[in-house]
Chains A and B, each alone.
Chain A
Amino acid sequence: MGLRFGRIVAILGLGAALGLLWNGFSGRGLALGRSVFVQRGDEVIEAGEAKARLDRGALFLDARPADFYKMGHIPGALPLPEPDFERAFAALEPRLRRHFNLVVYCSGYGCEASNIVARHLREKGIHAAILNEGWPAWTDAGYPVRSGEAP
Chain B
Amino acid sequence: MNALRHPGLHLILRLLLGGLFVYASLNKIADPPAFARIVYQWQVFGAVPSNLVAVILPWVEALAGILLLAGIWKREAALVVALLLVVFLAAAGSVMARGIDVENCGCTSVAAKAEAGVFHGVGWFLVLRNAFLLASSLVLVGVPADAVEGRRALVQAEGPSR
Given contacts A15-B56, A109-B40, contact A30 B33 (CB under 8 A): yes
A90 interface hit (Cβ, 8 Å): no
- Is A3 in contact with B56, judged by CB distance below 8 angstroms? no
- Residue among B30, B37, B62 with the most chain A CB within 10 A? B37
- Cβ of B121 to closest chain A Cβ, rounded Å: 15
B131 interface hit (Cβ, 8 Å): no
Chain A contact-residue range equals 20 to 34
Residue of B nearest to A112 (CB): B37
In the bound complex, CA of A31 to CA of B33 (Å): 9
Q: Which A residues between 1 and 23 are near B, CB-CB below 8 angstroms?
A: 1, 3-4, 7-8, 11-12, 14-16, 18-20, 22-23
Given contacts A11-B80, A14-B63, A15-B59, contact A28 B30 (CB under 8 A): yes
A91 interface hit (Cβ, 8 Å): no
In the bound complex, CA of A11 to CA of B75 (Å): 12
- Cβ of B122 to closest chain A Cβ, rounded Å: 13
Residues of A within 8 A of B73 (CB): 4, 7, 11
Residues of B within 8 A of A34 (CB): 47-48
Residues of A within 8 A of B33 (CB): 28-30, 36
- Is B37 in contact with A18, judged by CB distance below 8 angstroms? no
From B46, B47, B55, give the contact of A29 (CB < 8 A): B55
From B31, B41, B48, B76, give the contact of A7 (CB < 8 A): B76
- Cβ of B49 to closest chain A Cβ, rounded Å: 10
Q: Which residues of A contact B (CB under 8 A)?
A: 1, 3-4, 7-8, 11-12, 14-16, 18-20, 22-23, 28-37, 108-110, 112, 133
Interchain residue pairs A-B with the least CB separation, the first 4: A15-B60, A19-B56, A19-B59, A7-B76
